[in-house]
Structure 1
Amino acid sequence: MKTLTPTELFISFSKIGMSGFGGVLPWARRTLVEQDKILTSEEFSSILGICQIVPGPNIVNLAVCIGSRFGGAKGAFAAVAGLTLGPICIVILLALLYTHYN
């Protein structure tokens, strides 16, 4: 099994979080399977199947599962942080611009 540091997980999931708008699962598959080669296609499908039956957003569940698989609790935190940090910063920036110029 490939080993990944929390930093590598953060970067991979940051690419996913910043690439997709709306449904990001196709971007997740492209990044994790084709570009970064973290998972095989079969592994991705298997993990996604589990994530779809757990309550919550599928992509966040996927980040937790993959992060914990490769880096335990630190990996899960890094993957979720990478997935959400960029979009949250953009929304905060847009809100600040809106309140400043309105």
Structure 2
Amino acid sequence: MTYLQIFVSFFQIGLFSFGGGYAALPLIENQVIDVHKWLSLAEFADLITISQMTPGPIALNAATFVGTRVGGLLGAIVATIGCITPSCIIVLMLAYLYYKYKNLSTIQGVLNGLRPAVVSLIASAGISILALALFKTEVTTLLNVKFSDINIVSLILIVIGVFVLKKYKSNPIHVIMASGVVGFIIYALIL
């Protein structure tokens, strides 16, 4: 039954995650934490970190990680297949329909209508991760947090990382690696 649950959960994630991997994060969070309780929120934050550091789409990496955690190697395969199956079917159908009807204004209207929904899904995931990084709490409990609870080291690393990315147009991989090294030095060796 676990493999069927894994497949169905990631099939749903793959089916409803419009806008890419970051837009899928709230869906993954709901299935993995709220519905099935396969991971804690802290483990989910680690999952996001690992999924971003490894090559490939974040949703697919997350599916593989959760599948491995819940059902071993077979669980990873089932979760990965569940995650990509809807995309394969939908893309094939949409490609056919798009090339056949691409000049219709209705198609352009639908695409324009999906953009705000995608932005809101990405913003929701970003706020959840930001709250966890700065306060080590869920967004739902964020209203009860005082500003004195802010993790100063995390805040400084976030501000410096954004500054370096925007000002110097640095490679995000280098910024991630540098932040990881600085975080390791501060948390493991100093604090």
Aligned to 2:3: 6
Q: Is the 8 A contact 1:12 1:36 kept in 2?
A: no
Q: Which amino acid aligns with 2:72?
A: G
What are the superposed Cα offsets for residues 66-90 of structure 1, whole Å, 9 maximum, x if unpaired? 1111112211111011111012112
Aligned to 2:16: 19
Structure 2 alignment gaps of length 5 or more: 103-191
Question: CA 1:39/1:91 → structure 2, altered by over 3 Å: closer, same or farther?
Answer: same
Q: TM-score, normalised by structure 2?
A: 0.46
SS across alignment from 2:56:
coil
Aligned to 1:72: 72
Aligned to 1:92: 92
Q: Distance in 2 between matches of 1:52 and 1:100?
A: 36
Q: Distance in 2 between matches of 1:101 and 1:44?
A: 41
Aligned length: 99
Structure number with greater CO (CA < 8 Å, separation at least 6) is 1
The structure whose residues are more often helix, as a share, is 2
Q: Distance in 2 between matches of 1:96 and 1:53?
A: 34
Aligned-pair Cα RMSD in Å: 2.0
Tell me by how many angstroms 1:37 deviates: 2.1
SS across alignment from 2:37:
coil
Aligned to 2:33: 33
Q: TM-score, normalised by structure 1?
A: 0.81
Structure 1 alignment gaps of length 5 or more: none
Question: CA 1:98/1:52 → structure 2, altered by over 3 Å: closer, same or farther?
Answer: closer
SS across alignment from 1:24:
helix
**Which is further off, 8-17 or 32-41?**
32-41
Tell me by how many angstroms 1:7 deviates: 1.5
Q: Is the 8 A contact 1:10 1:78 kept in 2?
A: yes
Q: Distance in 2 between matches of 1:45 and 1:64?
A: 15
Tell me by how many angstroms 1:40 deviates: 1.4
What are the superposed Cα offsets for residues 19-62 of structure 1, whole Å, 9 maximum, x if unpaired? 21012112111221122322211111122212221121111111
Q: Distance in 2 between matches of 1:56 and 1:95?
A: 22
Q: Distance in 2 between matches of 1:101 and 1:37?
A: 43
Q: Distance in 1 between matches of 2:52 and 2:77?
A: 19
